[in-house]
Amino acid sequence: MSNPLVTLQQLGQSPWHDNIRRDLITSGKLAQMINDGDITGLTSNPTIFEQAIANSDAYDDDLRILAAAGKSVEASFDALAIADIKSAARLFMPVFERTNGNDGYVSIEVAPTLAHDTQGTIEEARRLWRTVDRPNLMVKIPATLAGLPAIEVAIAEGININVTLIFSLDRYEAVVAAYLSGLQRRTQAGGNIRSIASVASFFISRVDSAVDRLLDEKIAAAVDDTAALRALKGRAGIANAKLAYETFRRIFGGAIFAKLAEQGARRQRPLWASTSSKNPNYADTYYVEALIGPDTVNTMPPATIVAYRDHGKPEVRIDRQVDVAREVIAGIGAAGIDFGAVLVRLETEGVASFAKSYESLLAVVARRTASRSNPRGAGPCAELTKSGT
């Protein structure tokens, strides 16, 4: 029986793993997933690291070493995260080399507290790029208004960027513009753009969760037939992504990018994030099946990867029924829901949620550090500690 995750790749979509844990690396499980062809990249965020450190003793030895070296809580987490990202990047290097740099990327996020700080984001992106020092690294920068100029500067400096927390089409176009401007600045300065890679991460199921909640309120208050309202449930996120993909094809099939492509520029691929089914009424592969298409990435949590490998039905669908997608968005507006306002709120909530996870993460690191003592030996962070990182 063929592996549906491998078939996704044959159709032009890269399945990435939205998770990282120390034991996933040390047990050989991540290497096995890569070797089996299940995944071709990996993404991380503060929530993922919080869960990894809170629910495992795999980091305890390093925490003891870092504490003994006098590292702050922030510096200790930084060392743990960078050690894991470096290890994961090494495992994905064969994919990176086999695909000539088109795939095999590992993402690490700038601190969420910098989401509205352009210069702080630029400096942090530079530091992470320099410290991890792997060609298959992507630094994640949120698509906030402050993040846009940081994205442009980072691309101009040759840093691979994963633009995260994109919800609206308007903001997506601004993200693409920042990417293209960064490439243009680099070429004007005589720099090489062949090695620069970027993805634009569109969040999907969070959109449905927000819109479905508002539709349920409309349904509960309705006195007339609610069939039209019910028919819109679970469709906003996919419709939004289909329109984003249409925008991607238009821009990267246009004259501006054509000139950059002549100099070796790569397309900034759309990445579908938040693709687990948060509503139990939706199939566990619902968002994966709907968004398959060439030049895309889908980053999936572990359970979704397992489900798709088991019963996925790969077929290009992202470019189907785009007119219907427009009708869905129009129908949401006709129902009295301000879709644009929903997307703005989701960005605000997303930034706040990641910042809260980062605070919780630091609290977890502090708690686990305080409860451990007497180091038993050097772990993956030993080299970082010696270098003063």
Report the catalytic residues: 140
Query: By C-alpha distance, which of 121, 174, 343, 161 is closest to 268?
Result: 161
Task: Give the integer Cα–Cα distance in Å for 168 and 250.
Answer: 17
Task: Give the integer Cα–Cα distance in Å for 9 and 12.
Answer: 5
Burial group, residue 250, by CB count within 10 angstroms (0-12, 13-18, 19+): exposed
Q: Where are the strands (E) in 5-105, listed by range?
A: 13-17, 41-42
Q: Where are the strands (E) in the chain, listed by range?
A: 13-17, 41-42, 106-109, 137-142, 161-166, 198-203, 269-273, 296-300
| Contact status, residue 189 vs residue 158, Cβ threshold 8 Å | no
- Residue appearing with tokens 């007339």: 224
Task: Give the integer Cα–Cα distance in Å for 72 and 305.
Answer: 36
- Which residues make beta-bridge pairs with 17? 42, 300
Task: Give the integer Cα–Cα distance in Å for 97 and 103.
Answer: 8
